[in-house]
């Protein structure tokens, strides 16, 4: 079973990082060079998004242990470490923002695809690019606001109003970093998809930005199985 | 204002925008059109405070617990044991399907995970023993939905956070309806197989000794259930704390079964982050939108408009059920809950419905959404586990089970105490 899982994963990783690279550009030399550059960039992004997500997962796991220890100590010895709830909250916020690049590249964001996917392929591809662009813009805006929160914290040297009085720039800085990294992947991804769209290469657009079909989703769920 | 908001949202969603982005755009548009002061300035603070909410920490923890249990091999042995006990009923192993789903649901907060876990173990049996594969697949897709009704449940946590109600109270309220729905599914199995002429059952009849010996395999899921749900009911732990205990318990079970390894844990963690990021991005976008909605007074305007219609509460209730059944055909269920609950529940509570009772009803409707085509994720999960055959067969097979859900909603409407009695007894 383990072996199955591993080979599945290897297969999956191959599918992601060594997937047939987008068709060589048929456009002018300059555009082709830009596309090749973006592809290389995205390759690096794919390789980094996975460990970043896993690091977020480790934070969640650490939070689980911390909170469990807190409950056990409280239950058995009526003592409290204090701060487990606060720290696990930070872990959640950071894990979420660190998961953003991975979810983006895995096309994991939830979309209502029962309607628009029935349109002609060119239109579907155009809406996929639009969806990617709007998502990028929204998360960039959110990231900018996250940056403002961090800037305020730094300016006032804010600490949490808790017994730990955590210097807030630490968790907020790590949180903000996730948004920045997301933008560093989302911008080239959106540009690459847009270039493909303009060239009429709908297949590449769907591969980069298309909605995951329910069948794909279910297959992922099954892969996770025992 | 209401029409603008609803129109914009529907167009954005139908155009295939990610749900989180659609909610964000709507917030920005409403802010720009209807607010005197720019409201989305607060977006950063809202995102931070929502993103680090201790209650929401329960979501990745429950997801992680499920990911570990999924890989721990708990389900195979549990299914085997249940089939020894239940396969003599008319409908044979399909009762083990329902039973295993219900029991696994007591350790899992997700319906998709429940259907995938039990389905992996159960589906190969269908052909071996010559079952009607449609009904067999249907029983797994429907049984899997119990995952979010029988506590623990990720969807109930979201409902509680969105409506500011108590998670322990909701968990207690959902327990009895969860058991009833499982029994209802079994009745459906018995009736449907009684009418059909297909053979059911397994090869040999187990001895009593075999049966008793098999009971030990029910202990792991029961251990997780008592660890997680028991610690909440007994007041030892908050839901988030209980979820962390569940993660530790799941790790122990996986280690005891010899399934715990670095690569297994790595995959579980990656999957956990993916799922919870996906959920939390929507939750954060919805929190920003809800802030704008209440600031520009739209939530109250909507409540006033609907209560001003002068419809009787029960007419509204029927409308709500219908609304969710239709919406559930087209929307992924978590995003459906996050987008609708903050608007629907205040209206319904203003009409006099109990928010805890309403939560149970909405969760059952979300279960229905998981098995109604074209977008019923559980249908696709079960279909992906089958070696061949068409999805239409799963859809055909699941339809009888939908009737059990509708009956349960009817019962809940007639006898609200089905949900409310237990929390009242335990929590006063």
Best of B38, B59, B273 to disrupt the A interface (most A CBs within 10 Å) is B273
Q: What is the rounded CA–CA span in Å between residue B74 and residue B119?
A: 13
pLDDT in tens, A70-101: 999 998 888 888 889 999 999 999 999 999 99
Q: What is the pLDDT of residue B309?
A: 84
Note whether A96 and A52 are within 8 A (CB): no
Q: What is the rounded CA–CA span in Å between residue B328 and residue B323?
A: 8
Total residue length of chain A? 226
Angstroms from A93 CA to nearest CA on chain B: 5
Tokens for A16, please give them.
């992601």
**Overall pTM surpassing 0.90 (yes/no):** no
Angstroms from A210 CA to nearest CA on chain B: 10
Rounded to whole angstroms, what are the CA distances from B154 to B147, B172, B407? 9, 14, 24
What is the Cα A211 distance to its own chain's centre? 15
Q: What is the rounded CA–CA span in Å between residue B351 and residue B419?
A: 19
Q: What is the pLDDT of residue B240?
A: 95
Longest alpha-carbon distance in chain B: 76
B372 lies within 8 A of chain A by CB:
no
Q: CB–CB of B52 and A92 under 8 A?
A: yes
Q: What is the rounded CA–CA span in Å between residue B41 and residue B52?
A: 19
Q: What is the pLDDT of residue B389?
A: 85
Q: What is the rounded CA–CA span in Å between residue B323 and residue B312?
A: 16
Here the ipTM equals: 0.87
For residue B172, list its beta bridge partners: none
Using a CB-CB cut-off of 8 Å, the residues of chain A touching B112 are 221
A63 lies within 8 A of chain B by CB:
yes
pLDDT 10s digit of each residue in chain B, 428 long? 788 888 888 899 999 999 999 999 999 999 988 888 888 788 999 999 999 999 999 999 999 998 899 888 888 889 999 999 888 888 889 999 999 999 999 998 899 889 988 998 999 888 888 888 999 999 999 999 999 999 999 999 999 999 999 999 999 999 999 999 999 999 999 999 876 545 555 556 788 888 898 899 999 999 999 999 999 988 889 999 999 999 999 999 999 999 999 999 999 999 999 999 999 999 999 999 989 988 888 888 888 888 788 889 999 999 999 999 998 888 888 889 998 999 899 999 999 999 999 999 999 999 999 999 888 889 988 988 888 888 889 999 999 999 999 999 999 999 999 999 999 998 87
Using a CB-CB cut-off of 8 Å, the residues of chain A touching B271 are 224
Using a CB-CB cut-off of 8 Å, the residues of chain A touching B234 are none
Best of A4, A7, A50, A57 to disrupt the B interface (most B CBs within 10 Å) is A57
Tokens for A181, please give them.
């990294």
For residue A159, list its beta bridge partners: A167
A103 lies within 8 A of chain B by CB:
yes
Note whether B422 and B150 are within 8 A (CB): no
């Amino acid at each position: 079973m383990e072996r199955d899982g591993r080979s599945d994963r290897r297969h999956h990783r191959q599918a992601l990082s060594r997937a047939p690279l987008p068709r060589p550009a048929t456009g002018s030399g300059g555009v082709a060079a830009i596309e090749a550059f973006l592809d290389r960039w995205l390759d690096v992004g794919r390789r980094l998004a996975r460990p970043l997500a896993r690091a977020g997962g480790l934070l969640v796991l650490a939070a689980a242990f911390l909170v469990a220890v807190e409950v056990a100590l409280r239950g058995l010895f009526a003592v409290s470490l204090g701060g487990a709830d606060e720290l696990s909250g930070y872990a959640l916020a950071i894990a979420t923002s660190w998961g953003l690049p991975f979810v983006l590249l895995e096309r994991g964001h939830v979309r209502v695809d029962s309607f628009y996917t029935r349109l002609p392929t060119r239109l579907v591809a155009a809406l996929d690019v639009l969806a990617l662009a709007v998502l990028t813009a929204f998360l960039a805006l959110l990231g900018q606001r996250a940056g403002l929160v961090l800037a305020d914290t730094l300016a006032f040297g804010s600490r949490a109003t808790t017994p730990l009085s955590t210097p807030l720039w630490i968790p907020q800085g790590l949180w903000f970093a996730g948004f920045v990294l997301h933008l560093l992947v989302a911008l080239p991804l959106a540009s690459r998809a847009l270039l493909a769209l303009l060239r009429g290469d709908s297949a590449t657009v769907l591969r980069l930005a298309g909605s995951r079909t329910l069948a794909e989703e279910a297959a992922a769920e099954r892969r996770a199985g025992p | 204002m209401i029409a603008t908001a609803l129109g914009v949202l529907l167009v954005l969603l139908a155009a295939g925008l990610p749900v989180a982005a659609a909610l964000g755009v709507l917030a920005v548009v409403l802010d720009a059109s209807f607010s005197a002061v720019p409201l989305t300035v607060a977006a950063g603070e809202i995102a931070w405070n929502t993103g680090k909410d201790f209650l929401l920490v329960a979501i990745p923890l429950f997801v992680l617990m499920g990911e570990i249990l999924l890989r721990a091999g708990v389900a195979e042995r549990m299914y085997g044991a249940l089939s020894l006990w239940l396969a003599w009923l008319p409908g044979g192993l399909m009762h083990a399907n329902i039973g295993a789903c219900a029991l696994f649901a007591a350790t899992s907060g997700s319906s998709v995970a429940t259907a995938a876990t039990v389905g992996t173990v159960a589906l190969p049996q269908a052909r071996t023993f010559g079952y009607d594969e449609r009904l067999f697949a249907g029983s797994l897709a429907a049984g899997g939905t119990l995952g979010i009704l029988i506590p623990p449940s990720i969807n109930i946590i979201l409902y509680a956070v969105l409506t500011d109600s108590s998670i322990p109270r909701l968990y207690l309220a959902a327990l009895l309806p969860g058991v009833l729905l499982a029994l209802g599914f079994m009745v459906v199995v018995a009736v449907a197989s009684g009418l059909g002429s297909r053979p059911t059952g397994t090869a040999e009849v187990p001895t009593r000794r075999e049966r008793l010996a098999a009971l030990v395999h029910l202990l792991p899921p029961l251990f997780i259930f008592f660890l997680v749900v028991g610690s909440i009911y007994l007041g030892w732990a908050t839901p988030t704390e209980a979820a962390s205990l569940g993660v530790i318990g799941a790790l122990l079970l996986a280690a005891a079964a010899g399934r715990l390894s670095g690569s297994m844990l790595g995959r579980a963690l990656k999957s956990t982050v993916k799922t919870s990021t996906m959920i939390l991005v929507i939750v954060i976008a919805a929190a920003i939108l809800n802030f704008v909605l209440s600031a520009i007074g739209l939530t109250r305007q909507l409540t006033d408009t609907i209560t001003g219609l002068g419809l009787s509460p029960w007419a509204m209730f029927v409308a709500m059920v219908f609304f969710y059944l239709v919406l559930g055909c087209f929307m992924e269920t978590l995003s459906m809950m996050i987008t609708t609950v903050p608007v629907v529940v205040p209206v319904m509570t203003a009409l006099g419905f109990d928010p805890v009772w309403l939560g149970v009803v909405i969760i059952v409707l979300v279960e229905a959404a998981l098995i109604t085509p074209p977008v019923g994720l559980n249908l696709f999960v079960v279909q992906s586990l089958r070696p061949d055959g068409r999805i239409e067969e799963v859809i055909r097979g699941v339809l009888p089970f939908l009737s059990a859900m509708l009956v349960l909603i009817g019962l809940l409407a007639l006898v609200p105490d089905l949900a409310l009695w237990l929390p009242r007894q335990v929590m006063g």
